[in-house]
Amino acid sequence: MCFKAFYRQVKAHEHNTLFQCDISIGLLSCTSSQIYWQYHFINIRKNWTEAQSFCRAMYTDLATVNNRDEMNSLLNNISDVSQDMYIGLYRSQVFKWHWSLTDGFFNGSDSVFENWKPGISDGNHEGCAVMQNSGQWINDSCDSKRQFVCFNDSLILVYENLTWMEAVSYCRKHHVDLVSIHSQEPQDRTARKATQASTSYVWMGLRYTCDFNFWFWINNRETGCYQNWAPGHGPHGFEQCGLSGAMESTGEHRWVGRPGSEKLNFICYTCANSCASDVTIENKNTGCV
């Protein structure tokens, strides 16, 4: 649940930059989901290990699918592909399934998205997952030569140390905007980027408005259901004008309010939600379509 209201638009002017957000009072169910993956179907046949190496060299990794929105995004753009293809799910020597990305553990719990064909995930001892054109997963030999799906993470960590306003300008000039976080998946992805930062915190697209005394995301009209504030920060912390939102680069990667004049690394995202569902198809001979 998140707080929303008889909706009034707030316009906050900061150095000739206009930010818009909503005053939120009352309760409303909220299911905002922001997708930061770009999927790429590769029309080349490789075994699973070769496919993983290809994706890590050319993109980010073999495809990871965290939720139904990402699954549908992928399916909508590879509907013409009729053959089974590798994704980034594999089984280790102890017979536990993992995602290729950071060797993430896949435990099949209620909190983890899965799309196995009924009775398949433990139906044999084959070690790599294959996605059928229906979107269902089956396990197969890792040595089979198959087409595969890579993905690009569209989050960009910028190592330059800038104030919050300078970071906003940089992201909007070179990418789209500072990152916003509305669920656990983008929180996890942003946290992975933040661990590589050279500063203790990284800027996000989160700002405190002095006029109305609340936090808002600069590129989204929702004030947010999902929150990950460190103790003493955020809506229940000590708030003052000039604070902007940052994420811890280490530890639990919680959000904190920092003076906007502080110079930090920051994280941009490279395309809007509509772009994030795009899939390109690469061929062996031409390299692209």
As a whole number, the mean pLDDT across the chain is 77
Residue located via tokens 């939102």? 245
The pLDDT tens digits for 128-155 are 999 998 899 999 999 999 999 998 878 8
CA pair distance 242, 259, nearest whole angstrom: 6
pLDDT tens-digit map of 105-116: 444 444 468 899
Segment 248-260 shows an average pLDDT of: 96
Task: Name all domains of the chain by residue range, CATH numbers in brackets.
Answer: 2-33+154-273 (3.10.100.10), 38-152 (3.10.100.10)
194 against 79, higher pLDDT: 194
pLDDT band at 235 (very low <50, low <70, confident <90, very high): confident
Q: What is the mean pLDDT of residues 170-199?
A: 90
Mean pLDDT of 218-235: 79
Among 97, 95, 89, residue whose Cα is nearest residue 131:
89
Find the angle CA(289)-CA(189)-CA(84) to the nearest 5 degrees: 40
- Give residue 224's pLDDT: 62
Q: What is the predicted pLDDT for the residue at 272?
A: 40
pLDDT value of residue 90: 92
Asked whether the beta carbons of 29 and 16 are under 8 A apart, the reply is no
Q: Which pLDDT score is estimated for 14?
A: 46
Model confidence at 175, in pLDDT bands (50, 70, 90)? confident
Q: What is the pLDDT of residue 238?
A: 66
pLDDT tens-digit map of 11-37: 444 444 444 443 332 222 233 344 557
Average pLDDT over residues 81-103: 82
The mean per-residue pLDDT over the stretch 214-241 comes to 79
Place of tokens 């905007």: 177
